[in-house]
Amino acid sequence: MTADVVYRPPSQTIDELSRRGVVTNSPIVIHRHLGNRSTGHRHIKVSTCDLNFGQLGQAGLQVRAGYGTEPMQIVPRPFGQVLGDAMNALTRTWQPLMSAALWAFIPAGVAALTVFRFSGAEEFLNLVFNDPAYLDSLPSDELIELATPFLRATLIAVVLQVLASVFVYLASHHVISNDAAGFKTTGADARRVALNRYGAGLLAGLVIFLAIAGVVVAGLIAWTIPWALVGTPNATSVFIAVILMVALMTPAVWLGVTLSMWSSVLVVEKRGAIGSLRRSLHLVRGRWWPTFGFLLLVGLLGSVAIQLIQLVAIPLSVVGELGIGISIASLIGLVAQGLIVAAIAAMYTTWYIDLRAREGELAKDDLL
């Protein structure tokens, strides 16, 4: 059906659609069309122009030149286009994303470095870098005693990074969902939304951690019993043990992928901690393998970025005094990690939007 609202599209949008054969007859005024998912009419005459929706492919949005521009509806897109839209969104929203990442990870990094400096962990690190032979000569109980402060500091640092990552995820989801709806978001607004949803986010994250940890522990116990009774007397038994381990860990992977959209749901749909987990399960159902592939690809891209950062951070760790060098490298690594986390969260949001579009009509106002 035709809305009464008159839309005057930018000239560059019309030029792009004309080149693609979507718009013909040099339109002056185009009436917006509210899609009803009826694809039977492939060629529709509207006002003074013709719109050929067949030329738009799967991403057939009404008068749409790119993700997050002027669509009234968002519809499912191919795998590659979702990834491309995520990259384009990053170029448009890098400022608020960086603001959220720095706001969370710089304090977390400073706190982690402080813990390492005053907990005695640096003593162990100095021995690791300067006198590893001395560590090899220590009895097991003395080595454990010496390494305990380092292990304790590492655990605290990991907890701080997780807390910062949850905040960045929530802020990034808000930024990207608003971008998809055609609205710009400031860093301050993203931080405000993240803080408002932070408690529910921590609770949901804790539930997921406990659930996956429970599945992993159960799998390890199930694997350990036959291994302890039979052992691995030959090469065949070793192969069977590896296959059994992979099979027992599969439920944890399935659960992690199934619940992966929880943070996007928490922010965009404003659901509670448990409600966001249930909603994620519903969204991913029927799209588990594509979701797994997308998350795997995003994870590989993040790993490559981390490796590139280490090429810069590792040389800095040996500049000047060891403690100062490690502190500089660690701070750079933590800040860079925050930026990578923001980029990954942004890509997760674009996939969440695609999953939403596949379950029914999705108007851009639904993302606000």
Crossing angle, helix 140-180 and helix 322-358, to 10 degrees? 40
Predicted confidence band at 120 (pLDDT cuts at 50, 70, 90)?
confident
Look at residue 43 in the predicted model and tell me its pLDDT.
38
Nearest by Cα to 38 from 65, 63, 70, 73: 73
Residue 351 has pLDDT above 50, yes or no: yes
Q: What whole-number percentage of the chain has pLDDT above 70? A: 69
Residue 10 has pLDDT above 70, yes or no: no
Q: Is 52 helix (H, G, I), strand (E, B) or coil?
A: strand
Strand partners, 44: 51
- Could you tell me the two tokens for 85? 């839209």
Residue 364 has pLDDT above 60, yes or no: yes
Look at residue 228 in the predicted model and tell me its pLDDT.
67
Give yes or no for a contact between 44 and 50, defined as CB atoms under 8 angstroms apart.
yes
Residue pLDDT, tens place only, 185-207: 899 999 999 999 999 999 999 99
Other beta carbons less than 10 A from residue 156's beta carbon: 17
Residue holding tokens 């060629």? 43
Residue pLDDT, tens place only, 268-301: 999 999 999 999 999 999 899 999 999 999 988 8
CA angle 16, 21, 25 (to 5 degrees): 90
Residue 163 has pLDDT above 90, yes or no: yes
Nearest by Cα to 317 from 332, 295, 334: 332
Residue pLDDT, tens place only, 246-258: 777 888 899 999 9
Look at residue 30 in the predicted model and tell me its pLDDT.
38
- Report the alpha-carbon distance of residue 267 to residue 180 in Å, rounded: 14
Q: Which segment of 7-11, 220-224, 225-229 scores lowest on mean pLDDT?
A: 7-11
Look at residue 166 in the predicted model and tell me its pLDDT.
95
Look at residue 230 in the predicted model and tell me its pLDDT.
64
Residue pLDDT, tens place only, 47-94: 344 444 344 333 333 333 344 444 446 777 888 888 888 888 999 999
